Amino acid sequence: MKEDAALLPVEDARARTLALVSPLPSEWVRLEEALGRALAVDVRAQRTLPPWDNSAMDGFAVRSADLTAPLPVRLQVKETIYAGQTPRETVHPGTCARIMTGAPLPVGADAVVMRERTRLAPEGEAVDILEVVGPGHFVRPRGEDAREGEVLLPRGTPLGIPELGLLVGQGMLTVPVPRRPRVAILSTGDELCRADAPAEGRIVDANAPALSLAVLRAGGVPSVLGIARDTLEDVYQHLVAAEGHDLVLTSAGMSVGEHDFVREALEKLGVERDFWRVAIKPGKPLAVGRKGGTVYIGLPGNPTSSLVTFELFVRPALRRMLGHPDVEPPRVSGRLAGELRKPEGLAHYVRVTATWQDGELWARPLSTQTSGALRSAASATHLLHFPRSSSRLATGDKVELLPLSWGA
C-alpha cells in the first residue's frame, strides 16, 4: 500500500504528459487531409450563405398579410420558381408564387405555406391557402449560415465532416492545420519475433502493429522501428534511429527486471524523464520524458496494457499536437452490471461491454482482465474507471465509462 501511495495518480500523469506537448507547426492541406485535425487560424466567411432568402419547403410563397380568417384564402399564382432559378415576378396583394425547396423567395413575399396546407383551385391559376402563417414561416433567411467577413470557424475548431462541408460552401479547397505528428514505435524483448518470421520459442509482436494502427486512427503518422533485443546497446541504437520524430513510443522494458533496459537506454540518450510509474492497472510501469522537441512514452509490454495506456495518455497527447483544445478522454455515465472488488491504491480500468437497457448504459465486465489477453480488448466497448480509493462496486452502482477508440 505504501508503494501504491507513492505512485503518480492517473490525472496527474496525464496532465504532466500533456504539458510536454503543444500543437505542431501548421501546413496548408486539402480539406480531405484536414479531417480530424483542428484549425490553426480563425477562418472568416468569404461568402454570405444562403445568398438570398429561400424556401425551406415545397409550397407557395405568399404575403403573410394576405392570410386572414376566414379561411380558405384564394390567391392568384403568378409563376413557378424552381431551385436555381431567379424569380421574375413580384408578389403583390392577392397573389403568390409556387416555389420549390431552396428556390429564392420572390420580391414581396415574406412567408411560405407548405403544399400540404393548400388546395389548387379548379381553374388551375389560383390556390386556396388553408392556414394562417406569420412572416418568416418556412423561410431560410439570407445569411442564416454565414455572413461575409464574420469569423466562420475560430482557431482550434476540430474539423469534422460538417465543418469541412461548411468550408467547401465557402469555396475553400485548402485549410491551415497543424501537421500530423510523426510517431516512432519500438518493441523490445528477446521473446518477440515478426509475424512474417516466426521462430520456435518466441511470440509474434502484436504491440507494434496494434500501436501503429492506433496512432494512424488518432491522426498520427506511425513509423515502426522493429524489435530491439534485450541488451542496452541494441535498445539504445534503436532509440537513436527514432530521433527526429515528434513522439517515440516504446513497448516493454520499463520495469526493474534484469533484461529491462529501456529506462537506462533513454538516460544514455539524454532523455530527461518527467515521471515513471502510475497508480493504475493495467499499465503501472508507464514512463514519460522529453529530449528537445521529442517526447518519449514508455508503454507496458503486455498488449492490452499498452492499448489501455495509449487511450489514457498517448491519444490525448496526439490530439493536442493536432491542435484540439479539448484533449481529455471522453466520458459517459453508466451503471455496473455485476460486482467488482479490488484493494485500494490503484485505479483500475476494467474492460467492459456496454449496452443500452431501459434508457441507461449498463456495463458488464469481461470475464478476462489479464493484461496479456488481446481477445478481451477486442470484445470491449468501454473502459470502466474503478477509482483508486474504492475497493468495491456493486450491481447498479453509477460508474464512469470511457468509450474506446480502438473498436470497429
Confidence (pLDDT) at 2: 46
pTM of the predicted model as reported, rounded to 2 decimal places: 0.86
Over 50: is that where the pLDDT of 350 sits? yes
Considering Cα of 198, then 204, then 210, then 216, what sign does the dihedral take?
negative
- Which grid coordinates are listed for 200? 520456435
Stretch among 24-28, 300-304, 363-367 having the lowest mean pLDDT: 300-304
Distance of CA 129 to the CA centre of its chain: 48
What Å distances lie between residue 215 and 54, 208, 221, 333, 361, CA to CA? 45, 10, 7, 27, 28
Q: Is the pLDDT of residue 1 over 50?
A: no
Which CA distances in Å does 256 have to 201, 259, 263, 272, 306? 23, 8, 9, 19, 17
- The DSSP bridge partners found for residue 228 are 188
Q: Poorest-confidence range of 84-93, 186-195, 383-392?
A: 186-195
Average pLDDT, the chain: 93
Report which of residues 254 and 237 the model is more confident about.
237
The whole-number average pLDDT for the span 374-381 is 83
Cis bond upstream, residue 141 (ω within 30): no
Percent of the chain with pLDDT over 70: 97
Weakest mean pLDDT among 84-98, 197-211, 314-328? 197-211
What gap in Å lies between CA 61 and CA 112, rounded to an integer?
4
Q: Which of 40, 115, 30, 33 is nearest to 80 (CA)?
A: 115
Q: Residues 121-164: pLDDT tens digits?
A: 887 799 999 999 999 999 999 999 999 999 999 999 999 999 99
Query: Vertex 215, ends 32 and 256: CA angle to 5°?
Result: 170
Q: What percent of the chain has pLDDT over 90?
A: 82
Q: Which residue has the cell 389560383?
A: 126
Name the band, by pLDDT with cuts 50, 70 and 90, for residue 4. low
| CA torsion, ordered 355, 357, 362, 367, to nearest 10 deg | -60
Confidence (pLDDT) at 370 = 80
**With 80 as the cut, is the pLDDT of residue 373 above it?**
no
Average pLDDT in the 160-188 region?
95
Distances (CA, A) of 280 to 9, 55, 189, 272: 8, 57, 23, 22
pLDDT band for position 375 (cuts 50, 70, 90): confident
What contacts 344, CB < 8 A, 6 or more positions away? 1, 4, 388, 389, 390, 391
